[in-house]
Amino acid sequence: MKHALNFRLNEQTVVSLSILQKKLHCSKTAIIERAVQAYVKQVLPRQQKLLAFSGVLNEHDANSMLELIDASKNNKEMDFDL
The pLDDT of residue 21 is above 90? yes
CA distance 40 to 57: 21
Hey, where are the domains in the chain? 11-71
Question: Among residues of the chain, what percentage have pLDDT more than 90?
Answer: 41
- The answer to whether the Cα torsion of 74, 76, 41, 31 is positive or negative is negative
**Residue-level length of the chain:** 82
Predicted confidence band of residue 80 (pLDDT cuts 50, 70, 90): low
Tens-place pLDDT, residues 48-78: 666 666 777 777 887 787 788 777 766 566 5
Is there a contact between 51 and 40 (Cβ–Cβ < 8 Å)?
yes
What percent of the chain has a predicted confidence (pLDDT) above 70?
76
Judge contact between 66 and 53, C-beta under 8 A. Answer: no
User: How far is the CA of 52 from the CAs of 1, 8, 15, 34, 46, in angstroms?
Assistant: 14, 27, 31, 14, 11
pTM over 0.85: no
